[in-house]
Structures are given as C-alpha cells and as structure tokens.
C-alpha cells in the first residue's frame, strides 16, 4: 500500500525490510519531557488496538522510542514541531528538538497504521503493522488553526473535544474559540453574573437565511462553559499539541453583553440578545466603565487560557453610534483623537496594553488596522487576501484566514442540492490551489493560516462536520506543507485514502462525489440562499430526515 499522509511530510523514504509490528510485547520508551507524547500514543493504541503498550525508560527491542535532541527551539517557530520518524523491522525511533515535535510525530504514526486503528475501540487484530519508512518533517507555518464559532450556536464541551481530536489528526495546532457574539456569550466573568444569566441565552433563532427573515423558531438556544470546562478543554488540547486561543469579540458584536448590561452601550436602550444574524450597530461606549468590563473579561481569559495569544475580535465594528452620540464624540476629543472613528483603534490599544501585562500578544480581525493597531498585534486577515500584504507592509505578523479560501461556512459547491449555507462558495479544489503567502512578501511575516467555521446556519456538530470535511483536509495540507510539496503531491490524490480514516473516525463528511441532499440539521432547511446571489428561491420539497 502506498503511504498517503495528510498533510504530506517534507520527505518520505520507504525502506526495504519488513514492517514494524506493534503487538502485546511492544513498549514505548520515553523519559522526562518526552513522556507526554509516549502516553498520547499509548492512549491512542489502547483505544484503537486494545494493546496496552507500557511507557518505560529503556528496552532492547520491539520498542518505539521517543527522544529529544538538540537545542530547544522557541515556541511558535516551525522548528518547534519538526520531527523525524524511522521505522525499522525491530524498532521505531522518533526524534524531535521539542516535545511539540514528538506529538506531531505521534499524529503521523497514527496515519501510518491501518485506518481502522483510528476507531475508538478495537476492530483490528494485532499485530498492527507500520510500514518501514523514514520521515523527516517540519511544518511550513507555526500557526495552523481552526476557528469554531461557539457563540452563534453553542457547542457542548464534548463536541469541542471531538473537534480538537479531529484538528490534531490533521496536524492543526490551534483551536481558536470564538466565545462571544451578538447571539450569545459563553464565558463566565466574576463580577458580571448576568453574562451567564442573560447573555448566554437567546429566546429564539431566525428560521432560514437571516436575509429572508420570514419566521423564528420559538426555541430558546444557549449555554456557556464553566471555567473548569474551559480548563479541561485547554488541557485536553495541550496533550494533543493544540493550543486553545480564546476570542472575546470587542468592541462590536456585543448585543449579548448589552442585553444584560445596557449601561455599557451608547444609547442605554434595552434590547434582547440577538435572534437573527448580520452586523448590528450596537458597540461599547468609550467609557471607563466599559473599559473596566473589558479588563475584567481579559483578566478572566488570562487566568484560564495559558496561550501566548488572545484574540480580541475587532471585526465589523460600525461607527454609527459613536458618530451619532454626543458623549462618545466628546470622549474621542478628550482622548485627543481626530474623530470618533478612531475609538476602535483606541479600544484595541487599551486591550493590547492590558494583555501585555500578562505577556500576551493580541490577535485581531483585520479591521483593527483601521486607524492603526499596535505594531506587535497579529492581524487575522479575513475580508480580503490583499489585506495580508498591506498588514505585512505595516510591520504586522499575519494569520491568513480569508474569505477566498478559509471560510468553511460557505457552500462547498454550486450544486442546488447543497443544504443551506451562509452564502458564497469555497470548494475543496479552491482551497487546495490556494497559496497563502502574498507574492513578494516575507514568508516569516505569515505566522500561519486558519480555517473558519462560523455557525449561523450550523446548528449542531453533525452538521459542522459536514461543513468542515473534507475541506479542512485541504486546509490542513496547505497549513503544513510547502508550496513545492503541495504541487508535487496534490492533496486531492491522497483524499480517497484519507476518507477511510475519516470514516473510521466516524466523521460526517460531505461525500466526495457531491452533496448529501438529506444533510439537514441547519436551521431553516425550508429556505435556500442561492450561492451565486443572483436569485433566491425557496425549496419546500426536500425530503425529511
């Protein structure tokens, strides 16, 4: 069987000589900081093969050894996740300069085994064969992300853990959790109890596409994670080489906050948590009290999430209220700003300053550039890929996450049988063909790439898997592999072999040969939005589940 890995490693050299066989007597050899990766492999082998391979500090033969060698690279460098695997008939040697590299090697080793070993319990009879091969590997980008929007539709903790597993299998190393938005707030903050009492629930949700707005479902929707839930998510991810980067979206997208604390807004109006989708004019007032709120939120975030990065949101922040409001205008003047349009930039600087006291670097959606952002802020480019080059020219590091290639909430094809998606279209092939470094730009300014799963029209994790897969496979391949490797080994050619793995993992992926017309579970399957935008039509004759 050919070795078809996702992502494709830098180099794969098949060797002569028998495969390595993992059996009842195989041991995992690791000490000190290498042990975490060994236990990760142990847990996966125990689940998928039933074998109980002990972790020991030495063995003569029939061993998988984990070794740390050389100077430890800095975190958030590609070298930190480089690794080497050498599989011979009698032993497997895994080596890396950092524990993070050993963990990536474990993810590769899992793909070298038969797909059925990825199941949650044993269906294959050991011994399990690993082909004799030498793999040398290093990611192209240090940040390989998946964003989950748990605000528009709350995902239970179990689903978040599942997506961490699925991300890790694909060598993704960042789970960006979009924790707050107009439609729901998922993070308890001490001193602000109404965030969980009021902001975390909405009374109902629009049915069908928000732009069609014909009906509401009358069903309350919401939820939040406790601090221990979040700590559990962080630890579960860390064991798999995944960093959880929290996002609190400020100063726009705050309808859920203002529903509980209207005095933080510009008008004092009492509006409920949003029940439909789109861009709302409500934003935080530029007051000391609103800043105190933000600081309390970020203090909580800093305490729970060890990540070096905190995402402060910053997208879609209309200036309407600030321009119309006399107090906001006066405050802008008092702050020495040339106009209220610059208040977002002022907020961003306050956030950056506060989070720097925790040694955290801020990440923001690309609108933080409007009016200027602190130079160390990382810009997450989404509105247009061209913004990446502009941000790099201004001296920022960027994460490339644009609507051209990274929005997995968009339709996966133009086929009218597709279930309701938000709009737009991004195919597997478009992602596979995307080059994330702007022409002429310094590649080191691109910290990474990231796929987004916004969940306006994705009600549950089953439907989320349909949106993510197989497109996330192409996204993960481009995040890890160099342009040359991707050209030489197109991801589409490796996809059929990889689908066996997705099937073993029980992933509800979109079939490779077209949409699954019964794939509902999105809100409002009675309404369709034409991905071409040319015309909208209703589809009322879809078969039920």
- Catalytically annotated residues: 181, 253, 316
Given the complex with ligand TNX, which of 392 and 399 has the nearer CB atom? 399
Residue 326: strand, helix, or coil = helix
Residue 454 in contact with ligand TNX, rule: CB under 6 A = yes
- Cα separation of 336 and 160, whole Å? 44
- Cα separation of 164 and 145, whole Å? 11
φ/ψ bin of 68: left (φ > 0), alpha (ψ from -120 to 50), beta (otherwise): beta
Tell me how many degrees the CA angle 431-435-436 measures, rounded to the nearest 5: 95
- Cα separation of 100 and 104, whole Å? 6
Q: Closest separation between CB of residue 105 and ligand TNX, Å?
A: 34
Tokens representing 215 are 């009906």
Q: Closest separation between CB of residue 363 and ligand TNX, Å?
A: 11
Q: Among 405, 507, 484, which residue's Cα sits nearest to residue 495?
A: 507
φ/ψ bin of 70: left (φ > 0), alpha (ψ from -120 to 50), beta (otherwise): left
- Cα separation of 347 and 367, whole Å? 12
Q: Closest separation between CB of residue 364 and ligand TNX, Å?
A: 9
Residue 457 in contact with ligand TNX, rule: CB under 6 A = no
Tell me how many degrees the CA angle 25-63-35 measures, rounded to the nearest 5: 110
- Cα separation of 471 and 425, whole Å? 12
Given the complex with ligand TNX, which of 457 and 469 has the nearer CB atom? 457
Strand partners, 136: 11, 84
Given the complex with ligand TNX, which of 240 and 459 has the nearer CB atom? 459
Given the complex with ligand TNX, which of 192 and 382 has the nearer CB atom? 382
Q: Sign of the C-alpha dihedral, residues 184, 186, 188, 189?
A: negative
Q: Closest separation between CB of residue 453 and ligand TNX, Å?
A: 10
> Do the beta carbons of residue 430 and residue 384 sit within 8 Å?
no
Span 298-357, contacts to ligand TNX by CB under 6 A: 315-316
Residue 409 in contact with ligand TNX, rule: CB under 6 A = yes
Radius of gyration of the chain (CA): 24
Q: Closest separation between CB of residue 318 and ligand TNX, Å?
A: 13
Contact with ligand TNX (CB under 6 A) among 346, 382, 434, 469: 382
Q: What share of the chain is helix, strand, coil (3-state, %, to 5)?
A: 35, 20, 50
Q: Among 107, 97, 102, which residue's Cα sits nearest to residue 6?
A: 107
Contact with ligand TNX (CB under 6 A) among 20, 365, 480, 529: 365
Tokens representing 60 are 């003569």
**Which residues make Cβ contacts (< 8 Å) with residue 10, sequence separation at least 6?**
136, 137, 138, 481, 482, 485
Given the complex with ligand TNX, which of 346 and 454 has the nearer CB atom? 454
Contact with ligand TNX (CB under 6 A) among 407, 411, 457, 469: 407
Q: Sign of the C-alpha dihedral, residues 284, 285, 288, 289?
A: negative
How many of the chain's residues bind ligand TNX (CB under 6 A)? 9
Given the complex with ligand TNX, which of 86 and 366 has the nearer CB atom? 366
Given the complex with ligand TNX, which of 225 and 280 has the nearer CB atom? 280
- Cα separation of 177 and 450, whole Å? 12
Given the complex with ligand TNX, which of 348 and 481 has the nearer CB atom? 348
Q: Closest separation between CB of residue 21 and ligand TNX, Å?
A: 48
Q: Closest separation between CB of residue 387 and ligand TNX, Å?
A: 12
Given the complex with ligand TNX, which of 347 and 454 has the nearer CB atom? 454
Neighbours of 292 (CB within 10 A): 12
Q: Where are the beta strands (DSSP E) in 291-416?
A: 309-311, 361-365, 378-381, 398-400
Residue 429 in contact with ligand TNX, rule: CB under 6 A = no
Contact with ligand TNX (CB under 6 A) among 177, 422, 447, 499: 422
Q: Which residues bind ligand TNX (CB under 6 A)?
A: 315-316, 365, 382, 407, 409, 422, 454, 456
């Amino acid at each position: 069987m050919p070795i078809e890995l996702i992502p494709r490693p830098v180099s794969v050299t098949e060797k002569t000589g028998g495969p390595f066989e993992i059996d009842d007597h195989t041991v995992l050899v690791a000490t000190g900081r290498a042990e975490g990766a060994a236990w990760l492999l142990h847990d996966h082998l125990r689940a998928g093969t039933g074998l109980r391979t002990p972790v020991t500090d030495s063995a003569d033969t029939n061993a998988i050894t984990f070794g740390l060698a050389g100077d430890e690279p800095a975190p958030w460098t590609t070298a930190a996740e480089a690794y080497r695997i050498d599989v011979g008939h009698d032993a497997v040697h895994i080596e890396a300069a950092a524990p993070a590299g050993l963990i990536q090697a474990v993810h590769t080793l899992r793909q070298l085994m038969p797909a059925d070993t990825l199941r949650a319990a044993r269906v294959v009879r050991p011994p399990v064969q690993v082909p004799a091969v030498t793999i040398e590997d290093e990611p192209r980008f240090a940040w390989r992300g998946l964003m989950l929007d748990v605000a528009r539709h709350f995902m239970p903790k179990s689903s978040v853990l599942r997506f961490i597993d699925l991300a890790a299998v694909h060598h993704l190393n960042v789970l960006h959790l979009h924790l707050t938005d107009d439609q729901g707030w998922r993070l308890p903050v001490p001193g602000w109890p109404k965030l969980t009492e009021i902001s975390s629930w909405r009374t109902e949700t629009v049915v069908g596409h928000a732009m069609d707005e014909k009906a509401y479902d009358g069903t309350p929707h919401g939820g939040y994670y406790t601090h221990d839930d979040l700590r559990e998510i962080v630890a579960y991810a860390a064991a798999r080489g995944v960093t959880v980067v929290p996002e609190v979206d400020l100063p726009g997208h705050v309808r859920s906050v203002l529903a509980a604390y209207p005095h933080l807004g510009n008008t004092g109006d009492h509006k409920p948590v949003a029940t439909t989708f789109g861009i709302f004019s409500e934003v935080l007032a530029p007051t000391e009290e609103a800043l105190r709120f933000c600081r309390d939120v970020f203090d909580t975030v800093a305490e729970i999430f060890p990540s070096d990065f905190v995402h402060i949101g910053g997208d879609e922040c209309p200036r309407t209220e600030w321009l119309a409001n006399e107090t906001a205008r006066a405050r802008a003047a008092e702050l020495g700003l040339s106009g209220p349009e610059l208040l977002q930039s002022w907020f961003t600087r306050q956030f950056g300053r506060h989070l720097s006291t925790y040694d955290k670097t801020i990440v923001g959606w690309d609108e933080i550039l409007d009016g200027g952002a602190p130079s160390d802020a990382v810009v997450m480019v989404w509105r247009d890929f061209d913004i990446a080059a502009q941000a790099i020219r201004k001296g920022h590091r960027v994460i490339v996450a644009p609507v051209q290639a990274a929005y997995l909430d968009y339709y996966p094809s133009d086929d009218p049988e597709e279930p309701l998606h938000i709009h737009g279209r991004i195919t597997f092939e478009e992602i596979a063909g995307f080059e994330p470094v702007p022409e002429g730009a310094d590649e080191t300014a691109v910290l990474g790439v990231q796929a987004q799963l916004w969940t306006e029209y994705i009600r549950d994790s089953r439907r989320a898997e349909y949106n993510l897969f197989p497109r996330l496979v192409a996204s993960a391949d481009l995040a890890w592999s160099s342009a040359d490797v991707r050209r030489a080994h197109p991801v589409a050619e490796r996809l059929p072999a990889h689908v066996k793995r997705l099937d073993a993992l029980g992933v509800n992926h979109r079939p490779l040969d077209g949409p699954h017309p019964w794939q509902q579970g999105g809100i409002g399957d009675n309404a369709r939005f034409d991905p071409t935008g040319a015309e909208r039509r209703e589809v009322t004759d879809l078969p039920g589940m």
